Amino acid sequence: MEKRVLILGSTGSIGRAAAEVCRSLGERVRVVGLAALRSWELLAEQAAEFRPPAVALVDEAAARQLRQRGCGGAAVLSGPESLVELVNRAEADLVLAAIVGAAGLPATLAAVERGLTVGLANKEPLVVAGALLVPIAQRSGATLIPVDSEHSAIFQCLQGNRRADVKRVHLTASGGPFRTWPIERMEQATLADALRHPVWSMGPKITIDSATMMNKALEIVEAHHLFGLDADQIDVLIHPESIVHSMVEYLDGSTMAQLGVPDMKTPIQYAMTYPARCNGITQPLAWESIRALHFEAPDRARFPAINLGYEAARRGGTAGAVLNAANEAAVDRFRNGRLAFGQIARVSGELLARHAFRAQPTLEELLAADAWARREVEECVAC
C-alpha cells in the first residue's frame, strides 16, 4: 500500500538520503510535502521530481525565488509558520522530521498533535520537550518511529518483546574524530578537525556534536523519553566500527543487537516501511571482511558532555531544554570562530548547573528556558 510521506528538512543530509529512499521505494511511497529553511534550488529540483502538492520554505526571499522559478505546480508556503501550516494541511501517513535543532519543535509538535506517524531524525525537540511530546502522542494516537540510528536499532530490538522485560539499553557511539586525541589537543581543535568524522557523513551541527559527544548526551535524553527508560538503564559504549547500532539487554541476560553498515538510509527506510521491510539500497554487511568489533567505555574526562546527558535525563523538567539550547548556541559560536572547542561542553554544563530549574514546565516555560540559555551563551564574555 502506498505511503504518503512529508519530509521536513528535505534539503539536509537526512532529507537528501530520504529522497533517495523514496526514489528507490518507487510506487510504495508518495511525497506529499517538502520543507526547508532556504535552499530553494534543491527544493525546486526535489519538487520537480516528486511533484508534491505543497512545499514550504521558512526564508521569504528564498521562497520568492522558488515561486519565480516555478515549483512543479506545488503551492509554495513561506515564513516562520509555514512548516506547521504544511503539516496541518498535508494528508500524510508519515511525517519525516529531519530539521536540525530545536527549530523543528513546532512542526513536530503539530504532527504529534494531529496524531500522525512521525519518523524522528530531529532529536532536539525530544530533548527539549520530550516530557510533553510523548504524553501528547499517547493521547492523540501519534506513533513515534525513531530514525536516529541508535534509537531505530533499539526500536527494532524491542519488536516482539515486552518493554517490562528490558533491563537496560546500550547506546553505541563511534567516538567521533577525537576518540584517541589527548585532552590538551582537543581543547583547541579547529572547525575543520571537528568536521572530519571518521565514519558518518552528516550535517555540520550533528558532526560537531559527535566530536564533543554531546550527540550521545542528547541521545541519552532521547532514549529516556522514547522508551521510558531511567538514566541508569542507559549505557553508552564506544564502538568505532559503527556496525552494531545499539543493543537491548533483557532481564534474562539475552542481548538483542541491530547491525548494519553505517548508512542512515537503513533507519530512514525502516521508518517508511514499518512494520514491513522492503529491498533496500543499503549494502548488506560483508561478514567475511569484518575482522573484529570493538567496544569500550567512553572517557568521561575527555568527553564531559556525556555526564550532562545523564544529568539532563535524571533531572527532567527544564534541564533538557537548557542543555540543548546552550549546546546549539555554543556550536554556532564555535562555527563562527568565537568559541574554543573545549568550551562547548563546559559552557553547556555551567548553564545547566545555574539555570532556574523548573520540574514541571509548560511549553512556554521550556521555550523561555531555551531562549535564556541562548542569550547567556551569546553574551558570555568569559567564553
Under the rule (CB under 6 A), what is the footprint of ligand NAD? Answer: 9-15, 36-37, 39, 58, 83, 98-100, 103, 121-124, 148, 200, 202-203, 205-206, 264
What is the smallest separation between the CB atom of 302 and Mg ion, expressed in angstroms?
Answer: 20
Q: Which does 206 bind (CB under 5 to 8 A by kind): Mg ion, ligand NAD, none?
A: ligand NAD
Q: Which does 203 bind (CB under 5 to 8 A by kind): Mg ion, ligand NAD, none?
A: ligand NAD
What is the smallest separation between the CB atom of 173 and Mg ion, expressed in angstroms?
Answer: 8
x/- letters, 149..188, toward Mg ion (CB under 5 A): xx--------------------------------------
What is the smallest separation between the CB atom of 253 and Mg ion, expressed in angstroms?
Answer: 26
Given its phi and psi angles, is residue 124 left (phi above 0), alpha (psi -120 to 50 degrees) or beta? alpha
What is the smallest separation between the CB atom of 14 and ligand NAD, expressed in angstroms?
Answer: 4
Residue closer to Mg ion by CB (options 34, 208) is 208
Q: Is 148 in the site for Mg ion (CB under 5 A)?
A: yes
Q: Are strands 54-57 and 29-36 parallel, antiparallel or unpaired?
A: parallel
What is the smallest separation between the CB atom of 309 and Mg ion, expressed in angstroms?
Answer: 12
What is the smallest separation between the CB atom of 148 and Mg ion, expressed in angstroms?
Answer: 4
Q: Which does 71 bind (CB under 5 to 8 A by kind): Mg ion, ligand NAD, none?
A: none
Helices (H), 26-59: 40-50
Residues in the chain, total = 383
Q: Which does 370 bind (CB under 5 to 8 A by kind): ligand NAD, Mg ion, none?
A: none
What is the smallest separation between the CB atom of 59 and ligand NAD, expressed in angstroms?
Answer: 9
**Placement of cell 533531572 in the chain:** 315
Which stretches of 79-124 are assigned E, i.e. beta strand?
94-97, 117-120
Residue closer to Mg ion by CB (options 87, 127) is 127
Q: Which does 245 bind (CB under 5 to 8 A by kind): ligand NAD, Mg ion, none?
A: none
Q: Shortest CA distance to 299 belongs to which of 182, 168, 221, 200? A: 182
Residue closer to ligand NAD by CB (options 214, 383) is 214
What is the smallest separation between the CB atom of 25 and ligand NAD, expressed in angstroms?
Answer: 19
Total Cβ atoms within 10 A of residue 240: 18
Given its phi and psi angles, is residue 73 left (phi above 0), alpha (psi -120 to 50 degrees) or beta? left
Q: Which does 282 bind (CB under 5 to 8 A by kind): Mg ion, ligand NAD, none?
A: none
Q: Is 263 in the site for Mg ion (CB under 5 A)?
A: no
| Nearest residue to Mg ion, by Cβ distance, number only | 148
**Placement of cell 541508535 in the chain:** 150
Q: State how far the Cα of 148 lies from the Cα of 264, in Å rounded to an integer.
A: 8
Residue 196 CB contacts under 8 Å (≥ 6 apart), including other chains: 177
Q: State how far the Cα of 120 lies from the Cα of 157, in Å rounded to an integer.
A: 17
Q: State how far the Cα of 258 lies from the Cα of 149, in Å rounded to an integer.
A: 10
Q: Which does 99 bind (CB under 5 to 8 A by kind): Mg ion, ligand NAD, none?
A: ligand NAD
x/- letters, 98..137, toward Mg ion (CB under 5 A): ----------------------------------------
Residue closer to Mg ion by CB (options 200, 357) is 200
What is the smallest separation between the CB atom of 99 and ligand NAD, expressed in angstroms?
Answer: 4
The cell for 199 is: 565514519
Residue closer to ligand NAD by CB (options 179, 205) is 205
Q: State how far the Cα of 363 lies from the Cα of 371, in Å rounded to an integer.
A: 12
What is the smallest separation between the CB atom of 269 and ligand NAD, expressed in angstroms?
Answer: 14
Helix 13-25 to helix 40-50 angle (10° resolution) is 10
Q: Which does 42 bind (CB under 5 to 8 A by kind): ligand NAD, Mg ion, none?
A: none
Dihedral over Cα of 8, 10, 14, 17: its sign:
positive
Q: State how far the Cα of 50 lies from the Cα of 150, in Å rounded to an integer.
A: 29
End-to-end CA distance of the chain: 54
Size of the site for Mg ion (CB under 5 A): 3
CA 284 to chain centre: 24
The angle at the Cα of 243, spanning 240 to 247, to the nearest 5 degrees, equals 100
Determine contact, residues 238/193, Cβ cutoff 8 Å. Answer: no
In the complex, which residues of this chain contact Mg ion (CB under 5 A)? Answer: 148-150
